[in-house]
């Protein structure tokens, strides 16, 4: 992590603030017909998915679902470098009702609840009024590789590309909470974004962290990734970054922070995104009676690295390229293609 006003890429807070309107793009109601498909080699099928280039600020992506958009990073992208290009960073939304354009002048981030003073922060307040820092962190969906589970598990049927890595730039969540003044007795912090349910009575997407985690100085309110402003589909203008934790906690289009003095009982915490409280979060198919707990940290997972990345890493650590693997991939995993840590996980 590094505190700084000017990033190595030349990104300054003034440049970000001045360029915010760039992300105010209208989303297409549906992607144009793609000319390509990819075979994901799914046991029992269906294996083929459309390759699309029809989403704003996005390049070549695997289309898993169009509404809300689920766009998967093609696996060959991870061969190109440690950090995922912004235009190929994976996309996942829970509800389709989110803004296709945002008025950056009227946008506000509210901090409320068990605080000494309620805040309504503009983007200028955040970008120019608080110290920024950088952090490199992998954003990975809890359901990454779920499509390869045997037997199949309910939830988003991602292959291996619902993960991406970036250098994030933003402000510490702790600094924002300290400005509001957290009252004694606060135990959790809950986060919400601009996305809304598509059906009456459906639960708004909200996620929570413990107060100690929220104030650990590492959790970030991000306004940029890889030296550029956030793409609209990746949470513009602000998103939460929770290093080491599953992407479900990385709330996009963040506009509401609520400090709680009692446990969060909203659906997405109390019911959704839970796994067996067992070693490696695994159970035998058909087994019942086990306790469920919320997903939290990303389980260690690994793929074999591409030769070019291996050579680069070898140079950094002073090893000969021949001493490291040469056509392989690393991202985030337990070394097994069927992401066992997610067996029996429920996303919805």
Q: How far apart are CA 253 and CA 108, in angstroms?
A: 11
Residue 336 binned pLDDT confidence (cut-offs 50, 70, 90): very low
pLDDT tens for each residue of 170-202: 999 999 999 999 999 999 999 999 999 999 999
Asked whether residue 166 carries a pLDDT value surpassing 70, the answer given is yes
> Which residue's entry shows tokens 């609840």?
113
Q: How far apart are CA 179 and CA 116, in angstroms?
A: 9
Q: Provide the token pair at 129.
A: 């009024």
What's the confidence (pLDDT) of residue 343? 27
CA angle 269, 275, 276 (to 5 degrees): 130
What's the confidence (pLDDT) of residue 346? 27
Choose between 335 and 78: higher pLDDT.
Answer: 78
pLDDT tens for each residue of 273-307: 998 999 888 888 889 999 999 999 987 667 665 55
What's the confidence (pLDDT) of residue 319? 45
Cβ distance 50 to 61 under 8 Å? no
Q: Which residues contact 104 (CB under 8 A, 6 or more apart)?
A: 20, 21, 24, 123, 237
Q: How far apart are CA 108 and CA 124, in angstroms?
A: 10
What's the confidence (pLDDT) of residue 205? 96
Lowest mean pLDDT among 1-15, 141-155, 276-290: 1-15
> H-helix or E-strand containing 211?
helix 211-214
For residue 52, the cross-strand partners are: 61
Q: How far apart are the first and last CA of the chain?
A: 34
Asked whether residue 221 carries a pLDDT value surpassing 90, the answer given is yes
Whole-model pTM over 0.75: yes
Cα-Cα-Cα-Cα dihedral of 304, 307, 313, 315, to 10°?
A: 150
Determine phi and psi for 297, rounding to 5 degrees. Answer: -75, 150
Asked whether residue 223 carries a pLDDT value surpassing 50, the answer given is yes
pLDDT tens for each residue of 11-70: 444 445 555 544 444 444 444 444 799 999 998 889 999 999 999 999 999 999 999 999
| Arithmetic mean of pLDDT, 128-135 | 96
What's the confidence (pLDDT) of residue 309? 52
pLDDT tens for each residue of 225-265: 999 999 999 999 999 999 999 999 999 999 999 999 999 99
pLDDT tens for each residue of 93-116: 999 999 999 999 999 999 999 999
Asked whether residue 83 carries a pLDDT value surpassing 90, the answer given is yes
Q: Provide the token pair at 236.
A: 């513009």
Q: How far apart are CA 327 and CA 322, in angstroms?
A: 12
What's the confidence (pLDDT) of residue 106? 95
Residue 7 binned pLDDT confidence (cut-offs 50, 70, 90): very low
Residue 153 binned pLDDT confidence (cut-offs 50, 70, 90): confident
């Amino acid at each position: 992590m590094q505190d700084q006003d000017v990033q190595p890429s030349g990104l300054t807070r003034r440049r970000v603030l001045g360029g915010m309107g760039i992300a105010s793009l209208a989303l297409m109601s549906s992607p144009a017909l793609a000319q390509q498909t990819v075979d994901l080699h799914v046991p029992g099928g269906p294996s083929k998915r459309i390759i699309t280039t029809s989403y704003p600020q996005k390049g070549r992506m695997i289309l898993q679902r169009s509404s809300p958009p689920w766009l998967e990073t093609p696996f060959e992208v991870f061969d190109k470098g440690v950090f995922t290009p912004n235009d190929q960073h994976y996309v996942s939304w829970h509800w389709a009702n989110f803004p296709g354009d945002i008025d950056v002048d009227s946008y506000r981030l509210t901090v409320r609840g068990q605080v000494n003073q309620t805040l309504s922060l503009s983007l200028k307040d955040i970008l120019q009024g608080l110290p920024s820092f950088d952090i490199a962190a992998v954003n990975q969906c809890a359901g990454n590789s779920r499509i390869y589970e045997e037997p199949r598990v309910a939830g988003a049927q991602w292959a291996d590309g619902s993960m991406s890595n970036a250098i994030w730039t933003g402000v510490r969540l702790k600094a924002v909470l300290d400005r509001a003044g957290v009252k004694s007795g606060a135990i959790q912090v809950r986060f919400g974004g601009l996305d809304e349910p598509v059906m009456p009575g459906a639960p708004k997407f909200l996620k929570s962290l413990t107060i100690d985690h929220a104030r650990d100085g590492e959790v970030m309110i991000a306004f940029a990734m890889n030296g550029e402003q956030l793409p609209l589909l990746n949470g513009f203008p602000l998103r939460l970054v929770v290093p080491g934790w599953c992407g479900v906690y990385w709330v996009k289009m963040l506009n509401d922070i609520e400090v709680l003095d009692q446990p969060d009982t909203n659906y997405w915490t109390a019911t959704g995104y839970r796994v067996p409280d067992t070693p490696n979060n695994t159970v035998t198919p058909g087994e019942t009676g086990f306790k469920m707990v919320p997903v939290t940290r990303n389980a260690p997972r690994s793929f074999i690295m591409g030769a070019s990345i291996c050579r680069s890493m070898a140079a950094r650590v002073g090893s000969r390229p021949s001493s490291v693997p040469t056509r392989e991939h690393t991202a985030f995993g337990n070394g097994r293609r069927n992401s066992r840590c997610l067996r029996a996980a429920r996303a919805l």
